[in-house]
Each structure stands twice: as structure tokens, then as C-alpha cells.
Chains A and B, each alone.
Chain A
Amino acid sequence: MSKNHTGPLLSVNHLVTEFETRGKNNITVVDDISFHVNEGEIVAIVGESGSGKSITSLSIMGLLKNGGHVTGGAILYQGTDLLKLSKKERRQVRGKEMSMIFQEPMSSLNPMLRIKSQIAEAINIHQPAKSKKQVQEKVIDLLKQVEIPDAERVANRFPHQLSGGMRQRVMIAIALACEPKLLIADEPTTALDVTTQAQILALIKDLNKRRGTGVIFITHDLSVVADIADRVVVMYQGKIVEEADVFQLFDHPQHAYTKKLMRAMPTIEKKAGDSHAN
């Protein structure tokens, strides 16, 4: 990765991802999409289930399964095409340069391991030279960074002893372990309570501001987009139908599908705008 690269942090050019089926025809799930993420920017990918938004993120991470393959295009990370890397080089990019958090924090954590071991593991994979004490300190530091109160105690807990919101914080701590420049969040708040969702969104915004981490935020919920994104990519049936700055998108949605999503949004503020001022 060239250190003095100047273009966008990540640019996806004409990406095509297909899935093999038992029959003859492959299914195209991501169909010739292009977008980019600048350093320190939050880009939201919006779409319904089946729109290809999650497959896009898995393609970028190189985590496609069940017969999925990238069959066209390029994924440039700081100018380097990830698709041209060897498996080993790709693995080094994963975790170190970019990492990912998922919807269900419970199934992403190993139920048999203490929180501190799971975070330490993430540190050790890419920075094995660190001493045990350094790793411990780093674990606590990470837990503090994701605003977990009483970090020393939580580090010794098992996943089932934590609430959903705490688990998602731990997942974010693991994702941040190697200080990646890009964080991909795939519906990280869908399974959470609303008040917890608000906290996690605030945390991601905060990390983005403080550390300059670029974020791809995947969601089906436009109000979450309104809360967090700088720029928005709208996906429908495997294609990007609209891409715009977040204000521009909400003020002047162009595509019929975007407008449909807008209409489906529950609006609270119109008459209750002042009850927000706290």
C-alpha cells in the first residue's frame, strides 16, 4: 500500500459479483457498480434485503461464500487492486487495513472465550511482536475507546454476560484492534434496541471524527442514513440507482425508488421538532 497515495481511500469500479447455482445460469447479485469512499468519510449503502448491499461489502472484504465470486471490475484500496492480490496479501489487508462488523453481535463472538482473549486475538494476528503486557494494555485501551465503562471488568466477561449493545461495542473494539483505515458496518444496529442503536450510531460517528476512519455503513433504514452518512449510495436489484451527498439526497431525491423509500419513512419532527431540544 503506497503511503503517499492521494486519491480516494477505496474505489470500487464496475464491480460484478455472481453466484453459482445448481443450474447453468449464474445469478448476478452485484451488477456493475462503482462508488468510492474518501478518507474520514461515512458512506451509507441503502437498499432492501436482496438489493446486493451486503454482498457488495463481502466482495470488498473478500469474504464471499456459497459459490459467490467477483467476476468483473476492480476494488482499489489506496490505489492497489485488491482483486489482484494473492490470498495471503489479501488476508493482511483484512483486519489491518479494513475490518467489518455485522448485524448479530452474539453470533460473531465466540461464546467460549473471554472478551479480552477475543480482542487480544485480533491484535496478535497482525502485530505478533507485542509483549503480553502491551497486548493487555491495548485491550483495555480499545474497550475504553468504544466507551465501555468499567473496561477492566468487562474484559474478563464472556459474551453472554453482556447486553446486545455492549456486545456490538466489543465487536467494534475488535474491528478497531489494528487501527484500520476503513470500517465496514453491515446493519450493525438492526438487532438492537432503539436507545442502544442511538448510542452505537453516536459511537461510530465519534470514532470516525476522532480517528478519521472511513466508514461504509450498510442499512435498509433511511433515518439511520440521515443520522450518520456524509454521502449515500442507493442500491436496487444489484445496481446503484442513485448516489448523492446526504443533504442533496434528502432534499432532492432523483430516482423513483429513492422517493419510494422516502415516503415509507416515518416522520416525527414535523410537529414535535422542539421536543428534541434537550
Chain B
Amino acid sequence: MPTNDVLLEVKDLVKHFPVAKHRNQQEKAVVKAVDSVSFNVHKGEILGIVGESGSGKSTVAKLVMQLLEPDEGQILFHGNDIFKESRKERIETKKQVQMVFQDPYSSLNPRMTAKEIVTEALIIHKKIAKKEVDNKALELLEEVGLGKQHLNRYPHQFSGGQRQRLSIARALSLKPDLIVCDEAVSALDVSIQAQILDLLKQLQKTYGIAFIFIAHGLPAVKQISDRIAIMYKGKIVEMASSDEIFDAPKHTYTKKLIDAIPPSHPKYRKDRMVRED
């Protein structure tokens, strides 16, 4: 459960991407994918980040994962600036921050079996002896609701939901402090989404793992987040507890997002504006 200890601190993060230069432009054109973003993640907390395409939410995830280098700003993990760490320290940080990707079809190597996938990180970091692989793999699979019969299957033999479970098992293998889920349930059927969300919530409770849960819509995030940050065009426009966001949204964009949620019963239908702006 969330505590007051800060696990991850993101300070004034900026990331630009160059865009194709227009003929009559002098300066190099850039898009500010992430424009001065700051937030904290406490130990054992689930922070939801909601934004639509182009909001910069995935870029934030990639920066936290060190897949990209920021142009400005800092990311402190356990109080250390991860972009100033030595090579060795960076590898240590990488072990403690894991990621679950959006697309369960491309995030697993099609030529590796489930067993190989979930134990890969342990083998890379030499944390496991060859003969323990089977037991450890089974342990990890069972942790996410899969079983012995799945050990030697290839990704294509699993359904979308099961593949996301495999991704989660892989992320769990190094016992991380933080897992970043980038649209981890967006590609799944609604009923499967609920199962995966339950699983994540359970892992948070059991192991005190913190999550950054990124999504393009509010419903999924609301179910599991302790706090929610709303991103719009590279900035965080509102950040509050899950209840506050829904009960008293402040920013117009937040209100618009809430308004866009389809009703849970036909009696809540309303006539919306049609025009795109």
C-alpha cells in the first residue's frame, strides 16, 4: 500500500523531437513531446497517467525506462539521478524498474518459449542456476495465473490476455520496486482488461510494488490508481487522487475526458456535441 516515502521523483522533465523542417523556416522545428513535467511516485503507489495520442505519456514512460535521454530535467530513483549514474549503477536501476508494453503481440519474442521469456532477465543478470530455471519459471507463471502446461509454449499459442500475463511475469522476475505499464490493457477485450487490472492490484498489495499505469482513457485507470495525472499536449494539466479527479475535476480537459466516458447503463446516455475541434 502507498506510503509517504518517495520512490521516483520526476523534475521539470523536457523532451523535444525534431520534426521535418518546412521550406521557409529558418530554425529547426521541434515538437515538445514532454514539456516540463514533474511528479512523484511513492513506494507501493499506483499512479495513473491519462492522456490521448500525442499527449507525451508514452515518452514519459520511455524516459523513466531510460530508453530515451531527456533534454532537460531530472529523474530521481531512490534519490539518485538516473541519468548521472555510472554504467553499473544504471544496470542496477534497470533491474528495479520494469515495464509492461502495450502490444502483447510484439512485446514477446516469437521464437522464445514462455519459460525462456520469464526467466530471461534472471539469466542475463546471472541470478539463477541452470537447473533452477524450470522451478523459477513455474513459480513466476503461477504468480500471474498461468500454469505448468504453459511452460514450453510459444507466444502465438497464447491469447492476448495471457500474453500480457507473461509480460507481467517477466517484469516481476527481478523483484522490481516499480513497474511501468504503458497502455498495458488497451489492446485487450474489456472483460480481460478487468482480470489484468485485478492482477496488478493484487501484486501491489502482496509485494508493495509501485506502478505507473499509463492509459488513454479514464475508466481503466480509475479502477486501480491511487492518484491520477492528466496529460495534455506534453504537460500535466491536473493531478489529484482518483476520487478527486472524478468528483471535482478542475481542468476543462479533464472534464472533457470524463464526459467522453461511455455510460455504464443506457439510462445515463446523453446527447453529446458532434463536432471535432
Contacts and interface: CB of A to CB of B under 8 A. Distances in A.
Contact of A193 (B191, B216, B247, B259): B216
B189 A48 contact: yes
Given A149-B275, A221-B262, A226 B269 contact: yes
B275 A199 contact: yes
Contact of B191 (A48, A164, A166, A203): A48
B176 interface: no
A266 interface: yes
A202 to B, nearest CB: 4
A48 B190 CA distance: 8
A269 interface: yes
B52 to A, nearest CB: 4
Contact of A261 (B160, B190, B273): B190
Contact of A273 (B52, B259, B268, B275): B268
Interface stretch (B6-14, B140-148, B165-173, B218-226): B218-226
Nearest to A251: B265
A223 B189 contact: no
A227 interface: yes
A206 B274 contact: yes
Contacts of B256: 195
How big is the B interface, by class?
35 or more
A221 B270 CA distance: 18
A45 to B, nearest CB: 14
B272 interface: yes
A250 to B, nearest CB: 5
A198 B267 CA distance: 16
Contacts of A48: 189, 191-192
Contacts of B259: 198, 276, 278
A90 to B, nearest CB: 32
Contacts, number: 132
B260 interface: yes
Contacts of B79: none
A226 B265 contact: yes
A201 B262 contact: yes
B269 A276 contact: no
B264 A203 contact: no
B263 A226 contact: yes
A1 interface: no
A223 B160 CA distance: 21
Interface residues of A, number: 47
B266 to A, nearest CB: 5
B249 A269 contact: no
A266 B249 CA distance: 19
B265 A269 contact: yes
Contacts of A246: 266
A269 to B, nearest CB: 5
A148 B202 CA distance: 45
Contact of B218 (A221, A268, A271, A276): A268
Which of B189, B192, B243 has the largest number of chain A CB atoms within 10 A? Answer: B189
A49 B260 contact: no
Contacts of B271: 202
B203 to A, nearest CB: 19
A195 to B, nearest CB: 4
A261 B194 CA distance: 10
Contacts of A202: 271-274
A77 B237 CA distance: 51
Contact of A147 (B53, B265, B274): B274
A149 B276 CA distance: 8
Contacts of B272: 198-199, 201-202
B264 A266 contact: yes
B52 A227 contact: no
Contacts of A199: 272-276
Interface in A193-245: 193-199, 201-203, 206, 220-224, 226-227, 229
Interface of A: 48-49, 147-149, 163-166, 169, 193-199, 201-203, 206, 220-224, 226-227, 229, 246-247, 250, 260-261, 263-269, 271-273, 275-276, 278
27 contacts: A49-B160, A164-B53, A166-B276, A169-B276, A193-B52, A194-B52, A194-B260, A197-B260, A199-B273, A202-B272, A220-B189, A222-B190, A223-B219, A223-B263, A224-B262, A227-B262, A229-B266, A250-B265, A264-B194, A264-B195, A265-B264, A266-B264, A268-B261, A272-B247, A275-B246, A275-B255, A278-B259
Query: Top 3 nearest A-B pairs by Cβ distance?
Result: A266-B219, A223-B262, A193-B52
Interface of B: 52-53, 160, 189-195, 216-220, 222-223, 243, 246-249, 255-276
